[in-house]
Structure 1
Amino acid sequence: MFSRFRDLGRQQLNVELQVHTNWTDGQATVLEVLQTAKERGLAELAFTEHVREDTSWFPDFKAEILSAADGFGDLRVYVGCETKAMDGDGRLDVSRSVLDACDIVLGVVHRLPDGRGGYLDFRQLSFERTAEIEFRLSMGMIANAAIDVLGHPGGMSLRRYGQFPENYFRKLMTATLARGIAIEINSSYLVDMPAFLALCDEINPFVSIGSDAHKLSDLGRCRDKLLELGVGLT
């Protein structure tokens, strides 16, 4: 499913590996996503719905995807989830049954746990502290969690401060490569995609292509952005 960055060609780019539907916070149905993905010529699509440890609807979600995908035989479809880090040791907010049902698992940082069962307030944290905690949570997932992709790396810092330290990106890429998991190129979060891609070219990690699609117009956006930047054209 994943290629190393320098091996990306048009075929490897022609995917959308982070999609949300109206099962959680997306706007479109599973069928609408599949129809639009086909119209845009995508070859592979992963439904990666947000889950928590107490999520009970995942079997029905998976059944709907598998049933709908039968009508799109030329489109490879994966059932997945996006789940957040709960501590620096790589514990995830997801049940074992959901993990077992997935073809692809994205581990992300969405909140910053306070170690007492709650979460830190982003408004009370500096950029440096936010980035340090996000980096530590990400490294815990890379080292210990049952994930296939480190999703939107540095995303919380990027959303709030427009930056994430290059040395953290470098260490995350190196660690994912060592473990054989992918780091996500996410067009929704990356503020400076060319700089991120330059690091990818240097370290050559496994990468996952994701637009963090929440509406139909998002589908294929990361693929298109990468093609605009000349990735996969040689």
Structure 2
Amino acid sequence: MAVHNADIAKVFEEIADLLEIQGENPFRIRAYRNASRLIEGLGVSIGEMIEKNEDLTELPGIGKDLAGKINEVVATGTCEALEKLRKQLPPTLTTLLRIPGLGPKRVQTLYRELDIGTPEQLYAAAHEGKISALPHFGEKIETTILQAMEKHVEKEARFKLATAAQYAEPLKSYLETIPGVNRVVIAGSYRRAKETVGDIDVLVTARRGSPVMDRFTEYDEVEQILSKGPTRSTVKLRCGLQVDLRFVPQASFGAALHYFTGSKAHNIAIRRLGQQKRLKINEYGVFRGTKRITGETEESVFRSVDLPFIPPEMRENRGEIEAARAGKLPRLVEIGDIRGDLHVHTNATDGHNTLKEMVEAAKMRGYEYVAITEHSRRVTVAKGLDPQRLRKQIDEIDRLNEKRLGITVLKGIEVDILEDGKLDLPDSVLSELDLVVCAVHSKFDLPKGRQTERVLRAMDNRYFTILAHPTGRLIQERGPLELDMLKVIRKARERGCFLELNAHPERLDLLDVYCQMARDEGVAVAVSTDAHSTRDYDYMKYGIGQARRGWLEAKDVLNTKGLADLERLLKAARGA
């Protein structure tokens, strides 16, 4: 039974949640949460590391105790510490922490006073008015809970793209080993690189007699077989992800791939174009009357309605068909276009690797440059830098660059935007940097006008270079800031500064629609990983997926520029 990084991360997250509800030591809780985040985001499989007898304690923040628990989870799917906690508290209590307005203390009160242990019980109690009578709750919180329940159910049914990948890619590899299988493609929202995935659609072509359907339903992570047939089977994996497998003839493969990749709106629009030419387009092919005239490739489907190939990430019916018809489809950015990373942390603050290790890892990826951007002093939990410590790091970077390592290290900072729009560090030290990445890390609930004015005021600082994770959202955890993004983007254009697309799988922020807006307004976007360890550079692929969804070309992305051009743009932004 394979245990994925996401499975281990879930165990540690549940332990942390249950400990927090019990009011345990916050440092112990934080250790589990940090381990959970680290493991879920690792670019390599923990299970494979254990098979190779690699020392897990070499991972940042993983000591002997946590390493032992990881081994236990990989071997059994759980660990004794979690099972002990589950006997003390209902495990469903942790789901209540995902509801807006509920923290550990309130969850504990709900359980103690009303015996509420599930979202369903919570909804019923709120609907009956029982919650508002509890101490430290009130009618406002009760109303918030009622409004959040529907969104909570929808959210829980979806997986973050990077988490879905941990289950989808091994399954794809497994299917490719089955005798007679020729081709395996994951379609659906996964192929469109959507930030969350509801289920997985897999298409296969295979020789007649291939045991692909039997082997699929026998996959060791299948928890339930929902249906099974000669051309289609549906299963539910242990993690809760539903997978549909379709056996498709080669003659229909392109039509099926198009049908099961595009959004509903995109597919309807393509079918209407076909109808105008008296064609019928469906998952089986392109038909004139009862005769299939094409459909073996996706290109042939598009050609049948006089369109060029439209990349999967663009198939949302947000203007891509009109652009294709007019010959104005963008040449979307690719990961090979990236020349460096402009948002990277080291262990000088809350990163896990040294400056030299982060630089060497960037060089190994073929990057020309990497920007070191620690947190500023306001972020005390991350040991943010004050002016004195920042100047010390500036000197360290200068000494590193003098060694001519084959990569240029840019001096930067991720500085907090304070509530009044001022930056967390004085201009006297910001002036010594190559770039200043500015971010909102507090006061997320300001009204739209004040939040927008806060960011616009920050952008007036001459050293403001890049607006980091502009909406501040955390996927499935925290909604975006109330911001007038058009005003922010136009201010960036006026100032000559830039926006970030943060590639971390929990952020993917800038949102795709805002990427497209920035492109239309002529504002360059930096696709950066916000790496806190050498392995986090792997996040770039998710940022590129989001950039492609936002129609960005290489010319629209700041860090596709060579070093000389980048330095010219950074200096121009600071001189504005």
Q: What is the TM-score normalised by the length of structure 2?
A: 0.33
Distance (whole Å) between structure 1 residues aligned to residue 528 and residue 503 of structure 2: 7
After TM superposition, give the deviation of residue 137 of structure 1 in Å. 1.6
1:1-234 correspondence to structure 2 within 5 Å: 13-52=338-377, 54-88=386-420, 90-112=421-443, 125=445, 129=446, 132-144=449-461, 146-155=463-472, 160-164=477-481, 168-188=484-504, 189-190=507-508, 193-219=511-537, 221-222=539-540, 224-228=541-545, 230=548, 231-232=552-553
SS where residue 418 of structure 2 aligns?
A: coil
Distance (whole Å) between structure 2 residues aligned to residue 179 and residue 191 of structure 1: 21
Determine if contact 1:18/1:213 at 8 Å carries over to the other structure: yes
Higher mean alpha-carbon deviation, 202-211 vs 18-27, is at: 202-211
After TM superposition, give the deviation of residue 26 of structure 1 in Å. 0.7
Q: 1:233 to 1:94 in 2, by over 3 A?
A: closer
> Which amino acid is 2:452 matched to?
F
> Which amino acid is 2:417 matched to?
A
After TM superposition, give the deviation of residue 6 of structure 1 in Å. 9.1
Q: 1:148 to 1:8 in 2, by over 3 A?
A: farther
SS where residue 161 of structure 1 aligns?
A: coil
Rg larger in structure: 2
Higher mean alpha-carbon deviation, 13-22 vs 134-143, is at: 134-143
Q: 1:158 to 1:178 in 2, by over 3 A?
A: farther
Deviations 1:63-87 (A, max 9, x none): 2222223445431220011111224
> Which amino acid is 2:537 matched to?
L
Q: 1:198 to 1:146 in 2, by over 3 A?
A: same
> Which amino acid is 2:471 matched to?
G
Identity of aligned residues (%): 25
Q: 1:157 to 1:133 in 2, by over 3 A?
A: farther
Distance (whole Å) between structure 2 residues aligned to residue 201 and residue 145 of structure 1: 23
The one of the two structures with greater contact order (alpha-carbon pairs below 8 A, sep at least 6) is: 1
Higher mean alpha-carbon deviation, 92-101 vs 130-139, is at: 130-139
Measured on the aligned residues, the alpha-carbon RMSD in Å equals 3.2
Determine if contact 1:48/1:82 at 8 Å carries over to the other structure: yes
Determine if contact 2:415/2:425 at 8 Å carries over to the other structure: yes
After TM superposition, give the deviation of residue 156 of structure 1 in Å. 5.2
* Alignment: residue pair count: 213
Gaps of 5+ in 1: 113-121
SS where residue 18 of structure 1 aligns?
A: strand
Gaps of 5+ in 2: 1-329, 379-385, 556-576
Determine if contact 2:508/2:543 at 8 Å carries over to the other structure: no
Distance (whole Å) between structure 2 residues aligned to residue 40 and residue 23 of structure 1: 22
Determine if contact 1:176/1:206 at 8 Å carries over to the other structure: no
1:119 maps to: none
Deviations 1:199-218 (A, max 9, x none): 23322202222211111111
> Which amino acid is 1:215 matched to?
S
SS where residue 163 of structure 1 aligns?
A: coil
Determine if contact 2:342/2:371 at 8 Å carries over to the other structure: yes
